Amino acid sequence: MHRNISIIGAGSMGTAVSILLANNGHNVRMWSPFAGEVDMINTFREQKDKLPGVRVPENVVCTADFGETIDFSDILVLVIPSQTVRENAARISSHIKDKKVVVCFSKGLEKGTGFRMSEIISQEIPSVKVVAMSGPCHAEELSKGIPTAYVAAAEDRKSAELIQDCFMSPKFRVYTNPDIVGVELGGAIKNVIALCAGISDGLGFGDNTKAALMTRGIAEMSRLGSAMGAQVRTFSGLAGIGDLIVTCTSMHSRNRRAGILIGQGKSVEEALEEVKMVVEGVFTTEPVYKLAAKLDVKMPITTEAYKILFEGKGAREAVVDLMGRDKTHELEEN
């Protein structure tokens, strides 16, 4: 069934998602607050700044009219930086008239509260059903129709299956999962570990180091997830190890790229300036670190990332401290 679908955000992933949905036969209204971006996409059928060379189908209309975008459909897709989700959800709540399904591609935890994205949306717009989308996916590849698999997670099974039906294509496979806590935590924490993987690369370390970081990163993710009520097996799926692999190993990953620059000696501010896009791992490290402390969960990699980003600790010193921790059993560590 072809539907009208609204997308909040016209960056690289927002545009890639709009292309996917349009190619599935849906009519898409994509919102951007930037007049130049709106004109660029509508006139040239291309997101020249972030996805050059990829054509945006005619059944995608970009607009700066927020209310029109909300009214256009009963499915809203948020593809925006995680730290802007609350303000955008609050704005949506003032426009929304009927019950809708809100699909969130944003991956992170809210600074100051540690709330997951679905929690924020439910707080600001209590009438909607929330579906979290996560998994291993770069916009640069999705927009070109490169085969990709993703997860639609929701407490409400019908909502997850609705979104599965809308997004599924011969090039984009969607699985449903009721564990929205685990899916969202996986999508958030993998950015922290990917930042560390980039720092490792920037320091000149090798595949051995990265494999260790990724594996122990999954252990940290699982420990925190278990303490927060997630299903541990979710972290061995697409939203856990799958997303971690792609984000730690690809140069499409802005988290890895920022980490490389930090490992090479640049400041956090200099790294962010050079990447020129939102690096979610930088913003997510603090709330993950604070949640771990609150719940008494050991997350040594996250702890060292926090010290590098916010306490000025040297990256090489952090590696020495990680390697010099007290010996322990791999499967019994808390």
Concerning whether 111 is annotated as a catalytic residue, the answer is no
What b-and-e string marks burial along 53-82, b requiring 16 or more CB atoms within 10 Å of the CB? Answer: ebebeebbbbbeebeebbbbbbbbbbbbbb
With the C-alpha atoms ordered 177, 180, 182, 184, is the resulting torsion angle positive or negative?
positive
d(CA 25, CA 179): 29
Q: Which of 50, 129, 190, 307 is catalytic?
A: 190
The token duo for 190 is 């993998």
d(CA 313, CA 268): 12
Phi then psi for residue 138, to 5 deg, are -100, 135
d(CA 246, CA 134): 12
Among 218, 212, 245, CA closest to 232: 218
The token duo for 308 is 């590098």
d(CA 248, CA 256): 6
116 forms bridges with which residues in the sheet?
109
Gyration radius from the chain CA atoms: 19
Q: Which helix (H) or strand (E) holds 257?
A: helix 254-263
User: What is the bridge-based pairing of β-strands 27-31 and 129-134?
Assistant: unpaired
Catalytic machinery residues: 190
